[in-house]
Chains A and B, each alone.
Chain A
Amino acid sequence: EVQLLESGGGLVQPGGSLRLSCAASGFTFSSHPMNWVRQAPGKGLEWVSTIGESGSDTYYADSMKGRFTISRDNSKNTLSLQMNSLRAEDTAVYYCVRRLVLGSRWGTFDYWGQGAPVTVSS
């Protein structure tokens, strides 16, 4: 059974930093691109970042570039998101999400963790 378990969420002051982690199990972690998607309170879904299978390819939403860093450790089946210079508008639930691989192409998001709440407030 595929499981994605986020940790590291919490309350942080504006301008502060936080590191989210996601422990993956039940599948071959190194064979899938991994992602972070967030959802602000009462709002819709927003893609944050994607990292390729080996970790050498990374992609970010414009509003996160330069502030957030995605990484993975395939030996430990873990995905991370380092968030710096946090703003109030970064307050959201952050989901760890697996992406399908269809032959040589990347497909859609198929499995989601339960989410890690992040609150940026003084």
Chain B
Amino acid sequence: EIVLTQSPATLSLSPGERATLSCRASQSVGTNLAWYQQKAGQAPRLLIGGASNRATGIPARFSGGGSGTDFSLTISSLEPEDFAVYYCHQHINWPLTFGGGTKVEIK
């Protein structure tokens, strides 16, 4: 099983600041990694697929990078609606797995 480790667990930032989230895989997943955003009481929403491709309708302030085992999600300038929990996910190996999540909270 591929284990995805997200860091930090919590990120406390102010609106307008830059957020950088990390996801490390226990073995290579190539670029078969996605990022999701989940707000309280809502279903997850796809932000980034293929490690770096923004999903339809996702603002340009969200960017993804990396390949192999090390990945990042960057929010260039936090908007109030960006405070949420973010999950990475690998879809190349069974069982499909998710990281434990990073909560981006208002400082």
A residues touching B (Cβ–Cβ < 8 Å)?
44-47, 50, 59, 61-62, 95, 99-100, 106-115
Q: How many A-B residue pairs have CB under 8 A?
A: 54
Main secondary structure, interface of A, reads strand
Name B's interface SS. Answer: loop
B39 at the interface (CB under 8 A from A): no
Interchain residue pairs with CB less than 8 A apart (5): A45-B98, A47-B95, A50-B96, A100-B49, A113-B43
Return the CB mask of B38-58 against A: 1 if under 8 Å, else 0: 100011111001100001000
Contacts of B43 in A (CB 8 A): 95, 112-115
Output the nearest chain A residue to B99 by Cβ-Cβ distance: A44
Question: B34 an interface residue at 8 Å Cβ cutoff?
Answer: yes
Q: What's the interface size class on B, roughly?
A: 20 to 34
If A109-B34, A109-B89, A110-B49 touch, does A47 touch B97 (CB 8 Å cutoff)?
yes
